[in-house]
A = this chain, B = another copy of it.
């Protein structure tokens, strides 16, 4: 099959690789209905994470089960399934608490920018839909796998409640879907921090009531101004830099909730400074598995349309252009047809 391999900074290639096969009896092989590029793929693409050897890319996926190992019980050939970027057994104590991305058996899922994918721990990892969805639902189903699941976790981890005032820092696909998630959870006011017109438009469509274009000190001051000098109840940090993290913490009211869902790069938190903010802080790799049944249901019932974050569709062969478009912020998120 043709697969996407990252060789080094800005060097992403399509190569022939052997089709994946069942390795462990708990594996499943999936024929992907579509694939896509993640904001987090840009870290190694830009050289912020070192690529030691050619790396198969892609960790967001949905599609039809092609084959299952002998121990797999909960999914079967022909079903449409969605999973997350970490395979998990969904039975260990951490999974039982809803932190499947800290599963005692967790295993990264890699190589989803390709037509076929091997998923370990299939029973714990994959959730099947009732029916095979129609083609127009595929982008939304694919979004569930990572960006919606992560945006949803951002809202949940920041304790978004009905009537809350919410700030979302970051206007990537996760930030935009964090807006949608906060809206679904009943937030009354959703302030999106964004400087890009097309992203602002989608943020408003997803439920943002206010847009703040300022950053840093000015951004924090603007949030205070918009909240009667109080600060927000919940702040969802969807970037992962030192600037965005402190912007988020400063936007919260004392006792407010700050979530962070993008892998922090170069973030250092001064304990004493954090202490006096009285912030609640929670984040980490989103345990998307926890939310899959709920999110699949919302998409199936047509209540949400997270697939709108895909504003560029390319055939897999043009994956390199997909990376470039996202790197240059010409695209929010690239969908790859396989």
Interface residues in chain A, defined as those with a beta carbon under 8 Å from any beta carbon in chain B: 93-94, 97-99, 101-102, 104, 228-230, 240, 242, 245, 253-255, 260, 263-272, 274-285
Complex interface: chain B residues within 8 A of A98 (CB): 255
9 tightest Cβ-Cβ pairs between the two chains A and B: A267-B271, A264-B271, A102-B254, A278-B284, A99-B255, A269-B269, A281-B281, A99-B254, A280-B282
Pair A102/B269 contact, Cβ less than 8 Å = no
- From B97, B104, B255, B270, contact of A97 by CB (8 A): B255
Instruction: Give the residues in chain B near A279, CB-CB below 8 Å.
Output: 282, 284
Q: Is the CB of A94 within 8 A of B254?
A: yes
Whether B275 and A283, one on each chain, are in contact in the complex, defined by CB atoms closer than 8 angstroms, is yes
**B residues less than 8 Å from A278 (CB atoms):** 99, 101-102, 284-285
Of B99, B228, B267, the contact of A272 (CB 8 Å cutoff)? B267
The verdict on A102 contacting B284 (CB below 8 Å), with A267-B271, A268-B269, A271-B268 known, is no
Q: A94-B230, A97-B255, A102-B254 are in contact. List 5 more A-B contacts (CB 8 A).
A: A97-B253, A268-B269, A269-B274, A275-B284, A276-B285
B280 touching A281 by the CB < 8 A rule?
yes
Cα A69 to Cα B76 in complex, Å, equals: 77
Residues of B within 8 A of A97 (CB): 253-255
Residues of B contacting A253 in the complex (Cβ-Cβ under 8 angstroms): 93-94, 97
